[in-house]
Amino acid sequence: MSIVKYPTAVVHQNFHGVKDQHTNRGMRLEADLNDTNKYYRECDKALIYKKPTPVQVVRVDYPARNKAKIVEAYYKTPSTTDYNGIYKGRYIDFEAKETKNKAQFPIGIIHSHQIMHLKKVHKHGGIGFFVIRFSLRNETFLVDAPLLIDKIEHSSKSSIPYSWFQEHGHLIQEGYIPRLDYLKIVDLLYFKEDKT
């Protein structure tokens, strides 16, 4: 069995410097987005992919010449955001986060390197946003990256109320195929098209 460890020198820290101890967050959201992106690719609507997590292999066992087995590896520097690709000739980059808190979104699950990356995406003319799911409400919002980053950077609190997402976010309608048709909102926000 392969062992993947986080090096003690690299600790993910959020925007406010608090250590993030959450693992496997957003796995259902990730599955929904992966299915949606696969549908977009198969329909030739967009090319958007989940970014791989960079891993450094440290030790490999060779029980036989053709049976190499990774037995120890470490996550390298933190990845930037979860997804990127191209849609209608524009670069798209976004981060997906999920919370079980019904009333608040904890700022601590967004990391400073993700904020800095999305700022650069915006600066260079790309489309950057967050997909935020309140899992106990079964609601998923798309929020423009500059808008949410500004809220985070000017907040003295450790969370953002759910009501803020109702007011400033765009509810992504869930369906069967595609599961989360977020490109309808991308069209509305970044290409100024109707929802039809």
For residues 68-92, average pLDDT: 82
pLDDT confidence bin for 168, thresholds 50/70/90:
very high
For residues 69-90, average pLDDT: 81
How far is it, in rounded angstroms, from Cα 42 to Cα 58? 37
How far is it, in rounded angstroms, from Cα 78 to Cα 117? 11
pLDDT confidence bin for 3, thresholds 50/70/90:
very low
For residues 151-157, average pLDDT: 92
- Considering the entire predicted model, what is its pTM? 0.76
Q: Does the structure show a pLDDT above 50 at 141?
A: yes
* Distances, alpha carbon 16 to alpha carbons 10, 128, 152, in Å: 16, 21, 9
* Domain presence at residue 129: yes
Q: Strand, coil or helix: what is 34? A: helix
CATH code: domain of residue 132:
3.40.1350.10
Q: What angle do CA 58, 64, 68 make, to 5 degrees?
A: 30
Output the average pLDDT for the chain. Answer: 84
Q: How many domains does the chain have?
A: 1
pLDDT confidence bin for 146, thresholds 50/70/90:
very high
Ranges 54-58, 144-148, 153-157: which has the least confidence: 54-58
Q: What is the pLDDT of residue 22?
A: 40
Q: Which residue ranges make up the annotated binding site?
A: 80, 82, 95, 114
Q: Which residue ranges make up the annotated binding site for Mg(2+)?
A: 80, 82, 95, 114
Q: Does the structure show a pLDDT above 70 at 159?
A: yes
Domain that holds residue 43: 22-52+78-190
* Domain presence at residue 71: no
* Domain presence at residue 57: no
* Domain presence at residue 16: no
* Domain presence at residue 33: yes
* Domain presence at residue 65: no
* Domain presence at residue 58: no
Q: What is the pLDDT of residue 115?
A: 94
* Domain presence at residue 90: yes
